Structure 1
């Protein structure tokens, strides 16, 4: 099997050493090199060759990570994993990096916590393998808006948003995604002029980053977007993002539907888990649920989608051509739980048509 050539770019020597130590015994991964900033990295690429995967810090001297990311994605795309702290400023920049072409996000190692490092190793290796399997391509409509354009539209969007009580009996949409999913979710939500049903989204993401994702999406979408909270009553024209490191479910209470946020072990190797969300839709919504599984590594969501399909719900998968990683959708298709496979554009049309 061909080794994955990994390059680590971080201005902290300790972080570079720690990440190198976590993967050094993995036979499938070769550490091609390390650098303290992107300028050094680009110089080293001339002798080492281009890596398959980059682990990239954001705040660095001479050139920050996002500037470097945009440069390589426009010239010679390389699968990039963002390594970021969970502080609000760091998480907002991490979300910007995902929207600029990064395919995975990991939390910067807590170097003083042994258990954190032990837990990080498995997640780190999964992220590296997922990134190595990703298909990198530029989608023109996903090009980042300028900051001024976003600021100009934000106030208008907020003023026009209307959230009304959602009455049981109508459709509710569940979306699950992982590697490459943030870009697709942004395209979907920002392309919707309006939507009359609630949308629940489970995106694989570490704790501390999902609030920033929701805030960012809310600022550029016509519908409301929020990080889900336990007890939230579903409202129309609203998207709810599952908080990192928890599971999100839907529960019917009389004629209303509410969100339940629960702790517990990882399901299908993930927390939040798409399977957990889809299974709750099968149990609580039955035929009124609509399931959509997007790009991502692994099989999370496939079994839950099959349960939705078996109970009579409509289920859809992102097609292979438009996926960054055709893993989760492929597993759902192989299990026989998908009604149709669709492009991103067709998924947007589908959501707009659901009442």
Structure 2
């Protein structure tokens, strides 16, 4: 009888343990923000800058991890397969959650159904940059246009991968200017930037966040910003419309924070509130605008607004991908 009583008590305790764990307040252990691109990419830079104040706000460590490859799909798939418990998030992009939906014939996840949009982190423009050491003759947009028109397929541009925003920005520019540029894809930001600096490629339509450091160090020269207006961080760099004699162009993408599908509303709202508070603080906002050339989101920046932005961009980028002819099997 005593043994049966002890066994029953042990079984009851084991059965109750998950309930107690579920009832524990969130968060009570470390949180991971996953990125789908290599260390040093714009998403990695942003995630690491966000992690420190988010750690203070939530009272648990917030760590950054990157699982790069397949245009960000590896990191995205990892998060999509995690439990919806608030301990794994994705710093995604318009690339991973809009462009890839049209670019890849098969995705191991659904960009809408398998994720919970939490908060928009900012709009990220592209900047056309060159190496002043390797291409001293390319100082203005007209220089680029003249060189490209004189020798079709001889002027090349690198990208962070087939179908990435850095590829599609170059394709959109080439289409608008009626140029025949040679596209050279690399696996992520480091390879594409190295190719530009060594002279293996001529141009790079890079994202602003990953461009600002090399620009300020004098390693690269900005030619134009691929946005409708000049950037506060680069006030002397003209737009495509100003410098190239082309219609206004905007190839900006965005960064955003996602969780797995069916993330509880309480966790979504808490993360949205904390992240909005952090990115709207004067010091963080200045870092975004002046250091990364990223446009902060306008308030109130709700999860539903982010969902609508993402859905609209899925349709918008599908047209761009179709026009570019880019596909990835």
Instruction: Answer yes or no: same fold by TM over 0.5.
Output: no
TM-score, normalised on structure 2? 0.28
Larger helix percent: 2
Which structure is larger by alpha-carbon Rg, 1 or 2?
2
| Greater relative contact order structure (CA < 8 Å, 6+ sep) | 2
TM-score, normalised on structure 1? 0.27
